[in-house]
Amino acid sequence: MIICSSSNIDLIQGVTGYGTAADGATDWRIENTATGVFNVLNSPNLLAPNLSIIESGNVGIGTIPGTGTNKLQVQGNANVSGDTLSKTYTATNTTAGTNDILTMRYDTTNGLRFQQTLIAVNDVRYDVIQKTNNVDSTTPAMSFYKGNVGIGTNNPNAELQVTCSSTATNPDTPGTIIGLYVHNPTNTATSQNSVIYNRIANLSTGKVIFAFNVAGSYGCSMVMNGNDATNRLLRFNNSSDASGTDLMVINNSNGNVSIGNTVTTTYKLNITGDVNVSGGYFVGGSALPYFNLSNKIVAGNGISLTTGSASTSPSISTNLTAGNGISISAAASPVIATNLTAGNGISISAAASPVISTNLTAGTGISISAAASPTISANLTAGTNVTFTGTAPNITINAAGGAASQWVTTGNNIYYNTGNVGIGTATIQSSYKLQVQGNAWVENQLVFNNSF
């Protein structure tokens, strides 16, 4: 049926006039309204257009489109099997506050919602909200605000900010929550990297590449210093903004390391401060750890040296000077060929025979403990006592010039084997074993086997 009304031509199938209900399932109507809207209506309701086109060319499906810039408006769900030429979506609800602009869901209780929040004029934040089991996440899964991206926060202060509230102690435990996890499951000869790559365009003088901060009170940082291929320092600083003290510096140009200072030009290891070595040194690639000290060591506090279970005899051929005590412990025979000076005591413990050929000076006592007889050919000066202990406390005392001593100890007795003895004089008559320059006091008997 063709009906002409008010200069409009309408096409109608299966219905009389402009009835509100169709007579059959195949009824339809095509009309052009007095306001210039072209409608296509289908059974069963012939008053609700299925398709509408207005004078500006905008198309509406399930609705009469508005006169804005949107060429297609859909009232209801839309399923697009192919790609669309335009990726622009403009929300119609632009009032202040938070509004959903797009929803993607698996069912009514699980899905994602895209929201926009009008903070102020020209200040809009976009959030992605995840719903699981009909419960929205307490914070957006992701937020986009002022050019920054936030994960776990809707107010990111950096290009990427990850906020995670977690009490996890082991990030490898399944189900624990951590802030950032990088994992490469492929482990082959050509693909086995799992890294966070940090790169800058030019000079790296004073650039913080990693920082850790605790509640704004204290922290630490890794800092890269370098302006060419020969000046590349990796600094470990005791503040999160690198304004504190460098505790350790690694020179990437020569491989040198400094601890307690920043000088890496000369030594492979440069340490300022006390050093406690409990496992011994590996010198020259030796399989047995021991210490062989040939350079001067000065410590404001104490010096403690131990070889652990090493069987190699440690050697000290340099001066050791300590503000407090000096402690030397060796499983073999330590050879001490230079001065030891301590503000407090000096303790030497050996599982064999220590050899001491230089002066020991202690502010308090000197203690020597040995499993075999120690050999001492220099002065022992103690503020208090000199103590010898151990399974073999017998002492061999060398004479001047390093010659063997005439004194021999056996148990609690001391024997004088050869030569003469002078008391109060260095000039001894060759025919006398004992010459005393001055008076002699004998508390008990004086026994002579031969003539007096």
pLDDT of residue 150: 93
Tell me the C-alpha distance between 419 and 430, whole Å: 9
What single string gives the DSSP state of each residue in 252-278? Answer: TTT--EEESS---SS-SEEE-S--EES
Tell me the C-alpha distance between 306 and 279, whole Å: 7
Residue 400 per-residue DSSP state: G
pLDDT of residue 287: 47
Place of tokens 């069987």: 311
Residue 170 three-state SS:
coil
Beta bridge partners of 248: 236, 259
* Pairing of β 355-356 and β 292-293: unpaired
383-387, long-range: CB within 8 Å, 24+ apart, which pairs?
Answer: none
Residue 322 three-state SS:
strand
Tell me the C-alpha distance between 294 and 283, whole Å: 12
* Pairing of β 326-330 and β 346-350: parallel
Domain ranges of the chain: 2-74, 97-162, 207-271, 285-422
Q: How far is CA 73 from the centre of its chain?
A: 55
Tell me the C-alpha distance between 302 and 297, whole Å: 11
Instruction: Give the CA distances from residue 312 to residues 275, 288, 296, 308, 355, in Å, rounded to whole numbers and listed in that order.
Output: 21, 7, 22, 11, 14
Residue 45 per-residue DSSP state: B
Residue 223 three-state SS:
strand
Q: What are phi and psi of 402, to 5 degrees?
A: 90, 5
pTM, entire model: 0.49
pLDDT of residue 395: 60
Burial 287-317 (b: 16+ CB within 10 A, else e): ebbbbebeeeeebeebbbbbbeebebbbbbe
User: Nearest 5 degrees, angle CA 153-CA 156-CA 158?
Assistant: 140
Task: Render each residue's pLDDT in the chain as its tens digit; 452 residues.
Answer: 566 665 556 676 665 555 555 555 567 778 888 788 898 888 666 677 889 999 889 999 988 888 877 788 888 877 777 766 555 555 555 556 677 777 887 888 899 888 888 888 888 899 999 999 999 888 888 999 999 999 989 999 999 999 888 777 777 777 777 777 777 777 777 766 767 777 777 766 777 788 888 888 888 998 888 766 667 888 999 998 888 999 999 998 889 999 999 898 888 999 988 777 666 555 555 545 456 676 677 777 878 887 766 566 778 887 888 888 888 888 778 888 888 888 888 888 888 888 888 888 988 888 888 887 778 888 888 888 888 777 655 565 555 444 555 666 666 666 766 678 888 887 888 788 888 888 988 888 888 777 66
Task: Return all residues near 11 (Cβ < 8 A) that are at least 6 apart.
Answer: 1, 2, 29, 30, 31
Tell me the C-alpha distance between 305 and 188, whole Å: 45
What single string gives the DSSP state of each residue in 104-147? Answer: EEEETTEEEEEEEEEEETTEEEEEEEEEETTEE-SS-SEEEETT
pLDDT of residue 247: 92
Sign of the CA dihedral running 405, 410, 416, 422: positive
